[in-house]
Amino acid sequence: MHMTDLIEKKKQGLELTEEEIRFIVNGYTAGDIPDYQMSALMMAILFRGMTIPETTALTMAMAHSGDMVDLSALGAFTADKHSTGGVGDKTSLVLCPMVAACGAKMAKMSGRGLGHTGGTIDKLESFPGFSTSMSPERFLEIAGTVGFVIAGQTANLAPADKKMYALRDVTATVNSIPLIVSSIMSKKLASGAKTIVLDVKTGSGAFMEKEKDAFTLAREMVNVGKQAGRNMAAVVTDMDQPLGFAVGNALEVKEAIAVLRGENVPDLKELCMVLGSNILVRSGLAADEAEARARLEESIESGAALRKLADMVTAQGGDASAVYDVSLLPAAPVQRRVKAPRDGYISAMEAKNIGLVSMHLGGGRATKEDVIDLCVGVVLAAKVGDRLRAGDELAVIHAADGKAAEEAEKELLECYTFSDRKPRRRPFIRGVVT
């Protein structure tokens, strides 16, 4: 087999066979196929697309390019969740303890944040001493006893994706649905969970800005996962404005704890209920959605979910006192109130730019090497559809110093559009794909 023939075949829009796809992925991972040929092939895929059997073959070859984690020792109810990334997305911090309290085993590998979206691991490091590096044995032990563990991604999980994603980043081939499907699903399949739920965001702060593309991505990921024998569901959700009110690492942990204590942050809580009920129903832990929702509510009311979070933090070496006393979480020295500049409704918010405000305050990374400030960020006081009077509180900026706060205020005010008429609101949950 010759790589040039395979590039030519895809360039003409023909279907690659499973064997050809395996040859490409194995050859590229081993270093036998050079970057320039792989770039040409990925550009051909971007323009010509892939059939479902091709995308499935690509995903499976990429998943098998490294370790396939074996979670069978944890029983039948292993589950995992993936989000395509958004602003203020602290879902895992709420969802994992809730479903763990209902009997699921969430053995998660997670990444650090880059750009305007934060990573779950960064957020969890708000607990002093918290560590995400551990032996595979300890990883399984915590998942088994607590029901919820979050580790950093191991070096040998889908190494083909690591190389391909880095190449896509510099060859303008990121936004290809089959390449995104195979990238995300190869890592999820290699991580070993039997049930996988996906949160596909759409809107101004999302990777998939158009809803139609988000649904196509959701359907294809569900399809590939099912063909690999996993229980699957994907939820398409709004990212035209941040999720919840808090944006910034420790601030998001505080908001997640508030939900686990019973506070209703409507979009965040509903997302956890939809993802959580899909985990419970698809894995067989609940008979139907009504039972699943009742059990998830009970996990909060009884305090069981909050205790799961504390148990996980303790098991991973962290000081869990802050779970019960959030004043112990790291806090920024400067807090600046931002006031509404005029009377009216908030008709739009630029979610991505609000993420960038937090990043510029020091809460996110521009490069992988950047050290982040866990304390800083923005807490919104109002969201799209809310009516304010000039001077009402719009948000509070948490900053390292007064100058940074002042600059952030200017940037933040640019993120809002106001109107005199109440804006039409689209539903937060756009649909569930099973």
Contacts with ligand URA, residue ranges (CB under 6 A): 165, 174, 179-180, 183-184
- Complex with ligand URA: residue 10 or 187, whichever CB lies closer: 187
- Complex with ligand URA: residue 246 or 433, whichever CB lies closer: 433
CA-CA distance, 42 to 183, in Å (whole number)? 12
CA-CA distance, 206 to 210, in Å (whole number)? 9
Q: Are 358 and 364 in contact (CB under 8 A)?
A: yes
Q: Which of 168, 201, 336, 365 is catalytic?
A: 168
Residue nearest to ligand URA (CB): 183
CB 432 → ligand URA: shortest distance, Å? Answer: 20
CB 184 → ligand URA: shortest distance, Å? Answer: 5
CA-CA distance, 268 to 219, in Å (whole number)? 23
Q: Which of 83, 183, 191, 358 is catalytic?
A: 183
CB 207 → ligand URA: shortest distance, Å? Answer: 6
State the DSSP string of 56-109.
HHHHHHHHTTS-----GGG-S-EEEEEE---TT--HHHHHHHHHHHTT-EEEEE
**Residue (of 155, 157, 149) closest to 107 by Cα position:** 149
Which residues, at least 6 apart from 138, have a Cβ–Cβ distance to it below 8 Å?
none
Is residue 72 flagged as an active site residue?
no
- Complex with ligand URA: residue 216 or 321, whichever CB lies closer: 216
Task: Kindly state the tokens that stand for 395.
Answer: 């948000």
**Residue (of 328, 326, 403, 413) closest to 361 by Cα position:** 403
Is residue 67 flagged as an active site residue?
no
Is residue 238 flagged as an active site residue?
no
- Complex with ligand URA: residue 103 or 115, whichever CB lies closer: 115
- Complex with ligand URA: residue 179 or 315, whichever CB lies closer: 179
Q: Which of 161, 238, 267, 311 is catalytic?
A: 161
CB 165 → ligand URA: shortest distance, Å? Answer: 6
Distances (CA, A) of 372 to 128, 176, 242: 15, 30, 20
Distances (CA, A) of 181 to 55, 142, 310: 7, 30, 34
CB 180 → ligand URA: shortest distance, Å? Answer: 4
Is residue 168 flagged as an active site residue?
yes
- Complex with ligand URA: residue 117 or 299, whichever CB lies closer: 117
Which helix (DSSP H) or strand (DSSP E) does residue 425 occupy?
Answer: none
**Residue (of 93, 89, 71, 76) closest to 188 by Cα position:** 71
CA-CA distance, 61 to 190, in Å (whole number)? 11
CB 161 → ligand URA: shortest distance, Å? Answer: 7
Is residue 183 flagged as an active site residue?
yes
| Residues annotated as catalytic (active site), given as ranges | 82, 161, 168, 183, 187
